[in-house]
Structure 1
Amino acid sequence: MKLYYFDIYGRAESIRILAAHAKLELTNEYITGEKLGEMKAAGLLEFGQVPMLEVDGKKLVQSWAILRYLGRQHGYYPSDAETAWKIDSTIDACEDYLNNYFKYQFEKDEEKKKALWENFTKFLPNWLAAIEKRLINNESQNYLVGSKATIADFALGLIGFNCLLNEANPSYADTLPFIEKHEVLKAYATHWKTELGDYLASRPQPRPF
């Protein structure tokens, strides 16, 4: 398999985490903006964006859809409707985080950026509390859904290891205090730092996102 994306963690990271956890052979094809333009012109990107996963002659796009595709193939995404809902709603929650994060992180106007940061600091405590509540109510607090890893954990890993637990992220120091009181969430993060230890140590560093 070959994964086309920029030389950042970004939206491709949950896919990389799954591949590492499942011990799949995955080649990272890092591209530039110029290369992206060439791929668009060649009609290689259905929606004109990356990540794109090349596997078995197919070119798969849309990061969460790729994650589900691999999850179904490798036992990380169940067929049971209620369990799938728990996983999918967690992924939707991760998308909520990213939308709020991107709004303030990439705003150029300083006044607007300040207002967006204030909105983010109102959003984040409720978001963290909701994620932790899911862990508390789950049968195993090492996983978000059920008693083994699912793509929900890999989606949340993107948020954790790109942003909240990534010391190179520009918001790391400002968001770290929000996590301090969430002991269950911190224990979950510690578990995944161990479970993904080899991958986290081997991935390119530092990367801000």
Structure 2
Amino acid sequence: MKLLLTDSGVTNPSIQNALVGLLGKPIAESSALCIPTAAYGHPYAGPRAAWRFIRGEEPRAPMCELGWKSLGVLELTALPTIDQERWLPLVQEADVLLVDGGDATYLCHWMRESGLADLLPSLHAVWVGLSAGSMVMTPSIGPDFVAWTPPGGSDATLGIVDFSIFPHLGAFPSNSMANAEKWAASMPRRSYVIDSQTAIKVVDGDVEVISEGEWKLFTP
């Protein structure tokens, strides 16, 4: 699966060019499904944030407003209550999945409950994550980033990639480089610290940092 793991969406030409390259065609010719689920698990997000994401009203984090050929909403909490044949073909046909931020453990839980996590290896869609939508692809996020406590209390996520992500560098006082270094020291694997102008592209295990901003790689 092709991944574009962003801090704040498609915020600059470099990230947009990387996205178009992954799609293999223009955005205007690509069909997208947006996944707002993570927003419901975070106290600073919730329904209003999910609505703004779907509406494309987040100018600091462009995703749904990029000019897609078509755009639909895939709400993961609803999927376990409906027959798979009603939504699976739409996911299989999508060119891209746009995954909102919020709480990564909440998103991970519903990816597993909905069955979407099991489908990921078979999908041709590009996964474009925003904050928690990116962090969910890592093995774990660290206790500091858990706002919704999953059953069992773990900070584990999907482990599709073999590194962890500390997002929003410099965006909040708690997201300083000094705090990022402390977080990275507690992680058992390499970790990327990224800001709003940075994304991580992953194709068949190959990792490339796309940035017009600030980022840093920490290794254990």
Higher helix share: 1
Higher strand share: 2
Structure whose CA Rg is larger: 1
What TM-score do the two structures reach when normalised by structure 2? 0.31
Structure of higher RCO (CA pairs closer than 8 Å, 6+ residues apart): 2
